[in-house]
């Protein structure tokens, strides 16, 4: 009898040990965007949600490397993976992932929080595929103290004009950054570079993100866009070999070769650029808006937080241009816990969640009445909405199924030119041929 009881207890223990992982499987798994402010903000939002959610609805987060994220995601989803219930989706890749996702109904309050136009960045074929969590565009970060000192010193102005004449062959004078053209920015970057001007108070005039990485092409392309550049014309011809792209690629190379950007810039992406600028050794940086929370935070960037100004990217002959796209979270068709996942997504579309996400460092594009509630803590979110509506653009063809492959191709060919491995003509010819092939598919 005693042996029987012992055996039953052992079986019960065994069954409970098998059941425990089953319980943990009931949680909602979210595959998020790793390594940036989006991860920090999502962690904060999930912590708030888990604090009040039922045991079976609790959210677990899953992250993998940012590099190649969308390709790995496609492979996982095409294979019918159920390792995550909710996955990241971006404006430029919704069409690619929609076959593996399920549309969701967010309810009428979502439009009050984000506005209809922002909700549309997560729609495909008229259906809502995700909750918009972050709108991404670029800010020109600059050192207010350095620019003010330059503007107040006649000798410095003369030196600036001399450098602009020598390197850019233009008669230029220092200007308020909000009035900058790309040439004004380039002259400023050269003036504040030790290699060009040994009296510069900082080592570099700017930090260019030039790593062979698709996201760096998004940062770069606002320059050719402001010169009238586009991927394709109205007739569907690839126009990457335009004068706008030539001028822009040459300007980047000129700045890099002159030492206006760190010599390792060809391996720089988001994190390296932040580290360089926040070290206080660069006068300007064209960087994602997501960096604002860190670069203007006195604890995280003590050397520059109080003296950092933010404006929209400089103007070209066609005015200012700022690349925009949205990131969001949507429902995996093969989710194990769809019910729990939908509950979390609906909560994420609420005002409470959006404000928690914003306070956590994320960059949601919020309706004016909602953003007003965090305007004192996150003034950059006010600018985000303003710049997106005034200067935001999407290149023609940049939402096609192969958009990411096109960015990859540009990254490889353009960095080949910037590093001196191929001529500008070759880089543009290779890019054009590759884009024609990718846009045909």
State the Cα–Cα distance between residues 350 and 400, nearest whole angstrom: 30
Q: Does 302 engage in binding with other proteins (CB under 8 A)?
A: no
Between 294 and 408, name the residue whose CB sits nearer to other proteins: 408
Q: How far is the CB of 257 from other proteins (least distance, A)?
A: 12
Q: How far is the CB of 213 from other proteins (least distance, A)?
A: 6
Q: Does 165 engage in binding with other proteins (CB under 8 A)?
A: no
Phi, psi of 260 (to 5 degrees): -80, -15
Q: How far is the CB of 71 from other proteins (least distance, A)?
A: 3
Between 13 and 78, name the residue whose CB sits nearer to other proteins: 78
Please count the CA atoms within 13 angstroms of the CA of 22 that sit on its side-chain side: 5
Q: Does 211 engage in binding with other proteins (CB under 8 A)?
A: yes
Q: Footprint of other proteins on residues 72-101 (CB under 8 A)?
A: 72, 74-75, 78-79, 99
Residue from 26, 111, 279, 429 touching other proteins (CB under 8 A): that is 279
Q: Does 267 engage in binding with other proteins (CB under 8 A)?
A: yes
State the Cα–Cα distance between residues 162 and 318, nearest whole angstrom: 27
- For tokens 């009035």, the residue is 179
Q: What is the largest CA-CA distance in the chain?
A: 101
Residue from 132, 193, 413, 431 touching other proteins (CB under 8 A): that is 413
Q: How far is the CB of 74 from other proteins (least distance, A)?
A: 6
Q: How far is the CB of 127 from other proteins (least distance, A)?
A: 20
Residue from 56, 247, 399, 419 touching other proteins (CB under 8 A): that is 419
Between 71 and 166, name the residue whose CB sits nearer to other proteins: 71
Q: How far is the CB of 411 from other proteins (least distance, A)?
A: 9
Between 121 and 410, name the residue whose CB sits nearer to other proteins: 410
What sign does the dihedral 55-58-64-69 (CA atoms) show? positive
Beta-sheet pairing, 315-316 with 308-311: unpaired
Between 49 and 417, name the residue whose CB sits nearer to other proteins: 417
Task: Report DSSP letters for 84-153, one per residue.
Answer: -SEEEEEGGGHHHHGGGEE-----THHHHHH-HHHHHTTEETTEE--EEEEEE-EEEEEEHHHHHHHHT-
Between 221 and 356, name the residue whose CB sits nearer to other proteins: 221
CB-based burial label for 386 (10 Å; 0-12, 13-18, 19+): exposed
Structure tokens, 230: 């586009």
Using an 8 Å Cβ cutoff, are 127 and 94 in contact? no
User: Of 390, 93, 87, which is closest to residue 218 (Cα–Cα)?
Assistant: 93
Measure CA 68 to chain center: 14
User: Of 324, 302, 303, which is closest to residue 312 (Cα–Cα)?
Assistant: 324
Stretch that binds other proteins, among 128-136, 184-192, 271-279, 288-296 (CB under 8 A): 271-279
State the Cα–Cα distance between residues 307 and 38, nearest whole angstrom: 24
Binding-site size for other proteins (CB under 8 A) equals 36
Between 51 and 99, name the residue whose CB sits nearer to other proteins: 99
Residue from 62, 266, 375, 429 touching other proteins (CB under 8 A): that is 266
Contact residues for other proteins (CB under 8 A)?
67-68, 71-72, 74-75, 78-79, 99, 210-213, 262-264, 266-267, 272, 275-276, 279, 281, 404-405, 408, 412-413, 415-422
């Amino acid at each position: 009898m005693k042996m029987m009881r012992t055996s039953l207890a052992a079986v019960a223990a065994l069954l409970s040990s098998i059941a425990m992982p089953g319980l943990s499987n009931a949680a909602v798994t979210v595959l998020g965007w790793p390594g940036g402010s989006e991860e920090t903000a999502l962690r904060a939002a999930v912590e708030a949600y888990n604090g009040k959610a039922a045991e079976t609805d609790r959210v677990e987060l899953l992250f993998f490397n940012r590099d190649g994220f969308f390709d790995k995601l496609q492979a996982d989803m095409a294979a019918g993976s159920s390792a995550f219930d909710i996955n990241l989706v971006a404006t430029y890749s919704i069409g690619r992932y929609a076959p593996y996702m399920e549309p969701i109904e967010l309810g009428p309050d979502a439009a009050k929080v984000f506005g209809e136009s922002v909700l549309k960045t997560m729609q495909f074929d008229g259906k809502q595929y995700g909750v918009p969590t972050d709108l991404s565009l670029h800010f020109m970060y600059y050192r207010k103290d350095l620019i003010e000192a330059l503007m107040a010193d006649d000798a410095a102005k003369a030196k600036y004009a001399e450098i602009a004449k020598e390197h850019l062959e233009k008669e230029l004078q220092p200007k308020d950054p909000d009035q900058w053209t790309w040439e004004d920015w380039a002259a400023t970057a050269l003036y504040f570079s030790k290699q060009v001007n040994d009296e510069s108070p900082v080592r570099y005039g700017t930090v260019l993100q030039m790593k062979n990485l698709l996201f760096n092409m998004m940062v770069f392309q606002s320059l050719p866009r402001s010169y009238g550049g586009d991927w394709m014309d109205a007739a569907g011809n690839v126009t990457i070999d335009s004068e706008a792209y030539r001028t822009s690629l040459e300007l980047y190379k000129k700045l890099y070769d002159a030492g206006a950007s760190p010599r390792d810039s060809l391996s720089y992406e988001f994190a390296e650029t932040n580290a360089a600028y926040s070290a206080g050794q660069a006068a300007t940086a064209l960087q994602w808006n997501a960096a604002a929370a860190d670069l203007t935070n006195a604890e995280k960037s003590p050397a520059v937080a109080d003296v950092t100004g933010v404006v929209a990217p400089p103007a070209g002959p066609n005015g200012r241009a700022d690349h925009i796209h949205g990131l969001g979270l949507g429902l995996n068709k093969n989710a194990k816990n769809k019910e729990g996942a939908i509950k979390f997504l609906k909560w994420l579309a609420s005002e409470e969640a959006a404000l928690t996400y914003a306070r956590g460092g994320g960059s949601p594009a919020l309706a004016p009445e909602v953003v007003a509630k965090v305007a004192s803590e996150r003034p950059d979110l006010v600018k985000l909405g303003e710049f997106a509506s005034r200067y935001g653009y999407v290149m023609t063809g940049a939402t096609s199924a192969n958009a990411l492959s096109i960015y990859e191709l540009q990254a490889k060919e353009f960095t080949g030119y910037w590093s001196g491995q191929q001529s500008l003509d070759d880089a543009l010819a290779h890019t054009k041929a590759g884009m024609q092939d990718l846009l045909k598919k």
